[in-house]
Structure 1
Amino acid sequence: MALTFVLDPAVTPEVRDGLLDLWTDVSNAGGAVGFVAPVDREVIRPELLKHFTAMSEGRARLLAGFDEEGQVAAAAFLTFNTHRLMTHWVWLYTVMVHPKHQGRGYGRDLLAAAADAARTLDGIEAIRLTCRGGLGLERFYGSCGYKEVGRIPDAIRVAPGDDRDDIFMLLPLT
């Protein structure tokens, strides 16, 4: 069964809690979404609130994927550039599919929905994202049309002695 993607869903308590649970579960399953396991909802909450603040200020948009039960199963944030020379592309942040839904093509569906959403935004010609090296994420994003455009070796410290590359990827929309 496919997910239903919604750009800018109402942030109800259910959506807020669903995003907290999603982000926590993805992090604890080893997902590269800004945290290293183990984490709990209270560690994630301040970061989610930063995303909500950006949304309320018009600097970011939420794309959420809902499963057949109406639960948040996937999400990503499209964030606008504020620099006047870079307003023609958006960042894609915190790309997540719940572990229980992985392996069904929902990640590809999420990225396709993000590209479709970005195409509806005035003047947006590309999406940029970064991903953590060492997990094969660049191959996944590459298979979805993104091109690696830069890499900073050992920029992400997952743990002492475990540094990963910060990989920059770009998806032209035109």
Structure 2
Amino acid sequence: MALTFELDPAFSPALRDGITALWADVTNAGGAVGFVAPVTPEEIRPDLLKHLAAIEKGRVRLLVGRDEGGAVVATAFLTLNDHRLHQHWLMLYTVMVHPRLQGKGYGRDLMAAAADAARSIEGIEAIRLTCRGGTGNDSFYAACGYKEVGRVPDAIRLAPGDDRDDIIMLLPLGPAAP
């Protein structure tokens, strides 16, 4: 099975519901995507609406991966910088692949699609992301070409006594691979 990726898909209630369900499934499977399990799609919806408001203002681009049946199974949000000194790079947020598809190479496919999407935006030379320490995600991103460029110890508090590092990673963008 191959995933199809689309940058800036037309937004619909079905897409909204697909993203919120994916976000809940990833969180409830232990994913580090801004929430702590357990969560419901209804708890996630306000955060998605914030992303959508930023999309409408042209500050965020949405990358969606769909399976052969058209279900939303992967996402990434590409956030453009509006500060004049930072406009040559963007932030990648809420990178998700459905738990049933993890470990099959689809995460790498999503990261490659995100890099291609970033390359398609005029003036973008790098992608920056952050990830939660203690998850192993930094190793995954390193395998995708990202380099750790900073770390803020104990910046993420999951619960009292459970603080994690906020790891900052960067991918300089060269030309797209043939």
Look up the match of 2:58.
58
CA distance in 2, matches of 1:13, 1:34: 22
1:90 maps to 2:93: no
After superposition, the C-alpha distances for 1:46-82 in whole angstroms (9 at most, x for unaligned) are 1000000000000000000000110000000000001
Opposite residue 161 of structure 2, the aligned amino acid is G
Q: Which runs of 5+ in 1 are unaligned?
A: none
CA distance in 2, matches of 1:103, 1:145: 18
Opposite residue 153 of structure 2, the aligned amino acid is P
Look up the match of 1:3.
3
Alpha-carbon distance, 1:3 to partner: 0.4
- Aligned pair count? 174
Look up the match of 1:114.
114
Q: Tell me the secondary structure at the aligned position of residue 138 of structure 2.
A: helix
Alpha-carbon distance, 1:147 to partner: 0.2
Alpha-carbon distance, 1:100 to partner: 1.1
CA distance in 2, matches of 1:77, 1:150: 21
CA distance in 2, matches of 1:140, 1:89: 21
Look up the match of 1:101.
101
Opposite residue 69 of structure 1, the aligned amino acid is G
- 1:135-146 to structure 2, matched below 5 A, reads 135-146=135-146
Q: Which runs of 5+ in 2 are unaligned?
A: none
The percentage of aligned residue pairs carrying the same residue is: 72
Task: Give the TM-score taking structure 2 as reference length.
Answer: 0.97
CA distance in 1, matches of 2:16, 2:43: 15
Q: Tell me the secondary structure at the aligned position of residue 19 of structure 2.
A: helix
Q: Tell me the secondary structure at the aligned position of residue 20 of structure 2.
A: helix
Look up the match of 2:26.
26
Task: Give the TM-score taking structure 1 as reference length.
Answer: 0.99
Alpha-carbon distance, 1:144 to partner: 0.2
CA distance in 2, matches of 1:121, 1:111: 16
CA distance in 2, matches of 1:67, 1:103: 15
After superposition, the C-alpha distances for 1:84-115 in whole angstroms (9 at most, x for unaligned) are 10000000000000111111111000000000
CA distance in 2, matches of 1:89, 1:101: 29
